[in-house]
Structure 1
């Protein structure tokens, strides 16, 4: 599988929004439910423009045959006390799950994080998302804790795990 990992560009706004909307529809593992993401392509472009202007955040996209199939967002902090860390959000279309896309995205993320002297990468994941947890552990993340019943899926409450990786 030939996947191209690259930094997001402003002109990706429409395709990136469509990717996010599709992820909202096809998986329960993303935070937003179908129909809850209320943003226009122009607003998405503005968010990407602002993100690219900051040195502490980036969205890496996975592209195959001209189509965005996944992304990994790294969102830093502008506060001095935690500027060394970034919060991560991963989304991969189900068709491409388990095919190395996530590993490729994390490889690019680690290069970016090391170039910025980041020390901590952190994320949250629903406790029943075994595939994501396996990917995160494979790439060096450890479980630090959890929040009980944080996510509501239909009539069920789901725990959310906190995971982090410390860099050199």
Structure 2
């Protein structure tokens, strides 16, 4: 398994990974079939990511097959450029194999290299596997978003979580 930065030529495979994640878990934001972005639009989004100093997407590959990712979306303004919002997804067949830990190690190293100070994310309160990983990586719960999402016919709360670097 290797972790690497996304490239323009990853657009189709990355879109496929995201759609597969939408299908196999209710913990991602989009429902199955809701991701309508084309491969061309994904390629443009990747170009936009690569162009920003405080934004990146790291990919987890196993035998040249994308199995997970972590995206760090940096603040756009002077007052929040030091913060990045994280989105992470790992295919079900590859969970519990240390990939999440490696993705977080790499994104934290990238953030430190860029002089960033704060990593933040939201997570459904019932996503125990993700919560365990985030806590292990030093993230703390800062608040609760009540009835934040509508998932499988019910309202779901989310935790705001963050980790300060250095």
TM-score normalised according to structure 1 size? 0.98
Indicate the residue corresponding to 1:46 in structure 2.
Answer: 44
Q: CA deviation at 1:42?
A: 0.6
Selected match of 1:138 from 136, 139, 160: 136
Indicate the residue corresponding to 1:110 in structure 2.
Answer: 108
Selected match of 1:90 from 83, 88, 91: 88
Do residues 61 (structure 1) and 59 (structure 2) align? yes
CA RMSD of aligned residues (A): 0.6
TM-score normalised according to structure 2 size? 0.99
CA distance in 2, matches of 1:56, 1:104: 20
Selected match of 2:27 from 19, 26, 29: 29
CA distance in 2, matches of 1:129, 1:23: 15
Q: CA deviation at 1:154?
A: 2.4
Superposed, 1:66-81 pairs within 5 Å as 66-81=64-79
Selected match of 1:128 from 126, 129, 134: 126
Runs of at least 5 residues in structure 1 that lack an aligned partner in the other structure: none
Q: CA deviation at 1:153?
A: 1.2
CA distance in 2, matches of 1:153, 1:88: 20
Runs of at least 5 residues in structure 2 that lack an aligned partner in the other structure: none
Moved over 3 A (4+): none
3-state SS of 2:141 partner: strand
Indicate the residue corresponding to 2:97 in structure 1.
Answer: 99
Q: CA deviation at 1:16?
A: 0.2
Q: CA deviation at 1:155?
A: 1.8
CA distance in 2, matches of 1:6, 1:48: 14
